[in-house]
């Protein structure tokens, strides 16, 4: 999910979580231990993500989910905004007003979008993490893979 993805995340994420739990329940005890050892330190908290959204536009919430390109975009726009404001204070005239407005709009939109949808964004991230970990331990059947990816199965 990026800032330019204006559609809401999938609404059936709870169903996907249930499917993952069911599949994890079918793993052997040793596989479950490995699964939880891999997943537990990498699961993200939605509340921490929401708090990081308010990081002065620096994009720390993207770092939390390891989305480096989104972080670089937020950081670049924030640095540009701050440099334009500093130049305005030093020189007394506003340089590059269009860039300032575009940067502010981008950062404000990104902050509010991710803060409002933080629960869903982190839930989707965690589902993808769990699904990839589960597939690396024991590849699921074709029917389950289709359900996890939201495709109908035959």
Which contacts (CB < 8 Å, 24+ apart) does range 130-133 have? 130/20, 130/24, 130/39, 131/20, 133/35, 133/38, 133/39
- For residue 140, give the 3-state DSSP assignment: coil
Quick: pLDDT tens for 86-102.
988 898 888 788 888 88
What pLDDT was estimated at residue 103?
A: 86
What pLDDT was estimated at residue 143?
A: 45
Tokens of 59: 């994009």
Is 36's pLDDT higher than 50?
Answer: yes
Lowest-pLDDT range, 54-63, 106-115, 136-145? 136-145
- For residues 51 and 134, is the Cβ–Cβ distance under 8 A? no
Nearest-angstrom CA–CA distance, 69 and 72: 5
Tell if the pTM clears 0.85, that is, is over it: no
């Amino acid at each position: 999910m990026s800032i330019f993805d204006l559609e809401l995340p999938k609404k059936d994420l709870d169903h996907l979580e249930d499917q993952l739990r069911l599949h994890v329940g079918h793993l052997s005890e040793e596989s479950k231990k490995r699964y939880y050892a891999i997943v537990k330190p990498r699961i993200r908290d939605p509340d921490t993500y929401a708090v990081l959204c308010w990081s002065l536009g620096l994009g720390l919430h993207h770092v939390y989910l390891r989305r480096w390109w989104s972080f670089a975009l937020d950081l670049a726009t924030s640095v540009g905004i701050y440099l334009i404001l500093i130049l305005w204070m030093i020189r007394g005239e506003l340089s590059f007003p269009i860039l300032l407005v575009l940067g502010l709009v981008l950062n404000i939109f990104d902050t509010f979008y991710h803060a409002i949808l933080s629960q869903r964004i982190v839930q989707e991230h965690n589902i993808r993490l769990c699904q990839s970990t589960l597939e690396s331990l024991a590849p699921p059947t074709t029917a389950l893979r289709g359900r996890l990816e939201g495709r109908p199965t035959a």
